[in-house]
């Protein structure tokens, strides 16, 4: 059991540490990051229950509908909801990159507990595959969600709603695409690998832009 818990926690902790330590200017209070992580983990049980009901009742019969609506929309909406109502208006969310830290934290809280439960049910031998596909994908959906929530918070009123809309829709579409690849292809590894490469590029690009936005603001104020 200790091996399973360790294998389940390690990838999420490593990815969260990476994005947390990349906050070059003003790191977020650790208790806020841990709180967000716990909130994300607590989402696992209600979401698993809803997904079980949807599957049992065959509400979404096709792979496409299952991928996008029985899983992606459900998970990304609840993560977005937690972020918006517990972090978005908080005074510690005071720079663009903070959105990425909190988005990753919520997503990895969810992904880490889900990963532990999956390994308990299916065996620790699957830990490596879980560490390179499902856990990082959740983290990167969180990066993208947090990026656009940061854009929303620090934009003028005319653009806030647009970025807020993107903060839910873009992770939802990316997550749905990821799920659909897994559900609709027997040789899914052939297709999901380039998708993960793209996802890493896209997420890291957004993280870099968020850091640059803060630097530009400081230079503008100083100038």
**Candidate from 6-10, 13-17, 23-27 with smallest mean pLDDT:** 23-27
Number of C-beta neighbours around residue 31 at 10 A: 9
**Residue 155 Rama label (left phi>0; alpha psi -120 to 50; beta):** beta
| pLDDT over 80 at 220, yes or no | no
Q: Residue 70: which residues within 8 A CB-CB, separation 6 or more?
A: 51, 54, 55, 59, 60
Percent of the chain with pLDDT over 70: 96
Q: Tell me the two tokens of residue 175.
A: 């997550």
| Structure confidence at residue 156 (pLDDT) | 86
Q: Tell me the two tokens of residue 147.
A: 């990026």
Enter the pTM of the model: 0.94
What angle separates helix 96-122 from helix 134-153, to the nearest 10 degrees?
Answer: 160
Q: Is 93 helix (H, G, I), strand (E, B) or coil?
A: coil
The secondary structure of residue 23, as a DSSP letter, is -
Model confidence over 112-168: pLDDT tens digits? 999 999 999 999 998 999 999 999 999 999 999 999 999 999 988 889 999 999 999
Task: Determine the Cα–Cα distance for residues 61 and 178; give it in Å rounded to an integer.
Answer: 18
Average pLDDT of 3-7?
A: 89
Burial of 184 (0-12, 13-18, 19+ CB in 10 A): middle
Evaluate whether 153 touches 99 at the Cβ level (below 8 Å): yes
Q: What rounded mean pLDDT belongs to the chain?
A: 92
Model confidence over 153-212: pLDDT tens digits? 998 888 999 999 999 999 999 999 999 999 988 888 889 999 999 999 999 999 999 988
Establish how many alpha carbons lie within 13 A of residue 57's alpha carbon, considering only the half-sphere containing its beta carbon: 8
């Amino acid at each position: 059991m200790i091996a399973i818990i360790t294998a389940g926690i390690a990838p999420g902790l490593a990815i969260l540490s990476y994005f947390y330590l990349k906050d070059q200017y003003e790191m977020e209070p650790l208790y806020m990051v841990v709180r967000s992580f716990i909130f994300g983990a607590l989402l696992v049980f209600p979401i698993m229950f809803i997904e079980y009901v949807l599957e049992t009742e065959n509400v979404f019969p096709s792979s496409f509908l299952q991928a996008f609506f029985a899983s992606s929309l459900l998970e990304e909406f609840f993560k977005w909801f937690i972020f918006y109502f517990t972090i978005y208006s908080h005074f510690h969310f005071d720079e663009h990159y903070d959105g990425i830290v909190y988005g990753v934290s919520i997503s990895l809280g969810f992904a880490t507990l889900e990963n532990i439960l999956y390994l308990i049910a299916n065996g620790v031998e699957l830990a490596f595959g879980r560490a390179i596909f499902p856990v990082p994908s959740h983290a990167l959906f969180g990066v993208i969600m947090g990026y656009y929530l940061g854009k929303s918070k620090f934009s003028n009123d005319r653009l806030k709603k647009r970025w807020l809309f993107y903060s839910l829709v873009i992770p939802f579409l990316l997550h749905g695409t990821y799920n659909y690849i897994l559900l609709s292809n027997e040789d899914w590894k052939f297709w999901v690998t380039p998708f993960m490469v793209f996802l890493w590029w896209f997420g890291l690009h957004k993280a870099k832009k968020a850091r640059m936005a803060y630097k530009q603001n400081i230079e503008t104020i100083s100038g």
